[in-house]
């Protein structure tokens, strides 16, 4: 699927706006997302639900089992999903929470809350976040991944993504991860190509390896907050 934006222009812009990012772009592979134009939002989000909180290998195995339930090699249609028994889906490897999420996704697809591919391509990022966030088990991060990897949107910055945050710390030589608000403010220099910059933060995270990235600490907590917490704890102890 061709990108809906000019990648050469995006990398030129980012390289001129950010020296550290320019080095990263020059040293790593070219940006790509392998977006599947044939995959509907319903199918993409069903796959995202299957992949939540487990390893990619385990998720791929489970999702392959789910696809066999349709009889045509694709994920079960919304109508099929609603007819499938919970016990059947649990036997395929889904948790109870994921079964509920997939069935809610199916209902909201039938109701028109989850848009078709054509509808999604005409909607803004904000509209899609609002619509899809209403589906059980679908949060902002899942919608962001859908915008990046399914629709190829150019200006998405997943400020809560661990890989992006740690990749940022590696790229800019920080011992701590950034707070979401800090990353959001920093990312203004990457607009309107924050998706491409985020993709390179993932590459930085991968290149660094776990031996390095495991040493990156959580975001800094201001000393004032720590002192306030300490004072509160002391007062509580005295009142007992």
What are the structure tokens assigned to 224, written together? 């004032």
- Identify the pLDDT of residue 137: 93
Quickly tell me which residue has 């005295």 as its tokens: 238
- Tens digit of pLDDT for each residue in 15-73? 999 999 999 999 999 999 876 667 899 999 999 999 888 888 999 999 999 999 999 98
pTM exceeds 0.75: yes
Neighbouring-strand partners of residue 217: 176
Q: Which of 37, 46, 38, 13 is nearest to 154 (CA)?
A: 13
Element holding 192 (H helix, E strand): none
- Tens digit of pLDDT for each residue in 128-183? 999 999 999 999 889 999 999 999 999 999 999 999 999 999 999 999 999 999 99
Cβ(42)–Cβ(109) below 8 Å? yes
Taking residues 190-215, report their average pLDDT: 96
What is the C-alpha to C-alpha distance for residues 109 and 89, in angstroms, rounded to an integer?
Answer: 19
- Identify the pLDDT of residue 54: 85
Q: Phi and psi dihedrals of 9, rounded to 5?
A: -65, -40
Q: Which of 169, 200, 170 is nearest to 183 (CA)?
A: 169
Contacts of 58 (CB under 8 A, 6+ apart): 93
Taking residues 82-96, report their average pLDDT: 97
What are the structure tokens assigned to 62, written together? 């489970």
Neighbouring-strand partners of residue 176: 217
For residue 144, CA distances in Å to 34, 88, 161 come to: 15, 30, 10
**Residues with active-site annotation:** 161
Three-state SS at 101: helix
Cβ(195)–Cβ(154) below 8 Å? yes
């Amino acid at each position: 699927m061709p990108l809906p934006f000019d990648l050469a222009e995006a990398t030129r812009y980012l390289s001129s706006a950010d020296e550290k990012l320019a080095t990263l772009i020059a040293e790593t592979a070219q940006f790509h997302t392998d977006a599947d134009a044939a995959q509907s939002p319903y199918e993409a989000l069903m796959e995202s639900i299957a992949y939540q909180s487990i390893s990619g290998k385990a998720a791929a195995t489970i999702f392959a089992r789910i696809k066999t339930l349709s009889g045509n090699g694709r994920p079960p249609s919304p109508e099929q999903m609603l007819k499938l028994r919970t016990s059947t889906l649990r036997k395929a490897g889904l948790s109870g929470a994921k079964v509920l999420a997939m069935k809610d996704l199916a209902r909201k697809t039938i109701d028109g809350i989850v848009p078709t591919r054509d509808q999604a391509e005409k909607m803004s990022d904000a509209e899609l976040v609002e619509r899809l966030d209403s589906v059980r088990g679908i949060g902002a991060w899942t919608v962001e991944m859908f915008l990046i990897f399914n629709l190829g949107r150019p200006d998405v910055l997943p400020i809560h993504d661990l890989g992006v945050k740690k990749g940022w710390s590696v790229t800019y030589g920080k011992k701590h991860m950034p707070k979401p608000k800090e990353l959001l403010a920093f990312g203004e220099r990457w607009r309107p190509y924050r998706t491409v910059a985020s993709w390179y933060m993932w590459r930085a995270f991968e290149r660094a390896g776990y031996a390095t990235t495991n040493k990156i600490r959580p975001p800094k907590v201001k000393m004032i907050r720590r002192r306030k917490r300490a004072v509160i704890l002391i007062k509580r102890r005295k009142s007992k």
